[in-house]
Amino acid sequence: MYPETEFFQISGFRAHSNGFKKYDDTSLINAIFSDTSKLLRPGGQDCPIELVLGILPSGASYLLMSTEQMLAFTHKHRLSTPRSPWRATDFLSLSPIYFDSRQELSAKFAAYRQRPRNKNRRDLEETQDNSQANRGYVRTDPDVVHYRAYFENQRTLYRLLTRDVAPSKIGLAQPSWLGNIRVVSLVFGEWTVDNRRRDDCLNDPRLVEVGWTDALFANVFEPITGSSTVHLKLKTPSKMINPDSKSPHFSEVVEDDEAGLYLRLRTLLSHESAIPVVILVHDEAMAREVLGRAGIDVESYTSGLTDLLPLSLVEVRCVSPVGPTHEYLS
């Protein structure tokens, strides 16, 4: 199926649905939730409503319908199809979002509701989105990293791996890597009583333990191949110990010094295959510092999953193949 390239906003600031005559938020919510079609309930009539959440470069989020959903909805309710839809490439991420009840959908609509403007400054202020969901995410700053989009892309990756969403519905062509992707979850346990400044901690990390799980995902419902889990405690001269440290349940504990750790990390991340590698980390700055110290080319890793999930530019019926090396930090 060809990927959707245009989307329609259904609530909030300058939403396309604002042009639906006789449809306020309540009636629109009721109309959406009473719909039992496959387009809005792909899992079946008793399953949740599936819509799309888009994150703009400003960080603002909007609730969307795909073109296919909107055309079916407006035809059913004898409404005019809105003009000037959002393009897929207007967004940093597009991800599926699900609603189990009217209450959940109503709460989402309420988060996008515009607040009353100051009547004394109304004529002087630029009209902009002041909703609870997007206040503070109005202007685009190219230097700002929007973790909203990072998070949503991780949700999308999970949904793709579980086959819960069709890639075409969220602006993606069928990914060539789907069914063959490597995921490494990497955790660096710092000394919890270290009270130095952040810059000092990055320049001279004091690690107590490091853990990782490495797996090749063909499908999350199939046995994971090549899976391994390691929990490594560092041998340190100062005998640093975290008071709340607990033994892991799913792996044996090994001990090694810093040089041994770096060798293990280089071995873990040596990767010559065309299979994409996703590294899940909690603190990207610390991860890059430690991996760099281990002699790993961290500049070859891209932050986030945007390059792994490229949105369709226009209504083109083919997508360029992915290059031979793709490595991602998320």
- Distance CA(97)–CA(152), nearest Å, equals 10
- Distance CA(231)–CA(316), nearest Å, equals 47
Between 169 and 120, whose confidence is greater?
169
Q: Within 13 Å of residue 166, how many CA atoms lie on the same side as its CB?
A: 15
Please state, rounded to an integer, the average pLDDT across all residues of the chain.
85
pLDDT value of residue 253? 84
Beta strands in the chain, from DSSP E residues, in sequence order? 6-9, 49-55, 61-66, 86-87, 93-99, 181-190, 207-217, 225-234, 253-256, 277-280, 302-303, 327-329
Asked if residues 281 and 190 have their Cβ atoms less than 8 Å apart, the reply is no
Asked if residues 64 and 3 have their Cβ atoms less than 8 Å apart, the reply is no
Asked if residues 169 and 271 have their Cβ atoms less than 8 Å apart, the reply is no
pLDDT tens track for 90-137: 999 999 999 999 999 999 999 999 888 766 555 545 678 889 999 888
Whether 316 shows a pLDDT value over 80: the answer reads no
Q: Which of 56-65, 116-125, 164-173, 292-301 has the lowest mean pLDDT?
A: 116-125
Beta strands in 88-175, from DSSP E residues, in sequence order? 93-99
Whether 145 shows a pLDDT value over 70: the answer reads no
Indicate the pTM of the whole model: 0.82
Beta strands in 45-135, from DSSP E residues, in sequence order? 49-55, 61-66, 86-87, 93-99
Nearest to 187 by CA among 122, 248, 96: 248
Mean pLDDT, rounded, for 42-71: 94
- Distance CA(14)–CA(311), nearest Å, equals 23
pLDDT value of residue 223? 55
Mean pLDDT, rounded, for 156-163: 88
| Proportion of the chain above pLDDT 70, given as a percent | 82
Whether 190 shows a pLDDT value over 60: the answer reads yes
Nearest to 102 by CA among 63, 41, 48, 53: 48
Nearest to 159 by CA among 52, 315, 287, 286: 52
Cα Rg, the chain, nearest whole Å? 23
Mean pLDDT, rounded, for 13-24: 90
Whether 185 shows a pLDDT value over 80: the answer reads yes
Band (pLDDT 50/70/90 cuts) for residue 226 is low
- Distance CA(246)–CA(126), nearest Å, equals 54
Whether 167 shows a pLDDT value over 80: the answer reads yes
Nearest to 138 by CA among 146, 129, 147: 129
pLDDT value of residue 317? 35
Q: What is the dihedral angle through the alpha carbons of 245, 249, 254, 255, rounded to the nearest 10 degrees?
A: 0
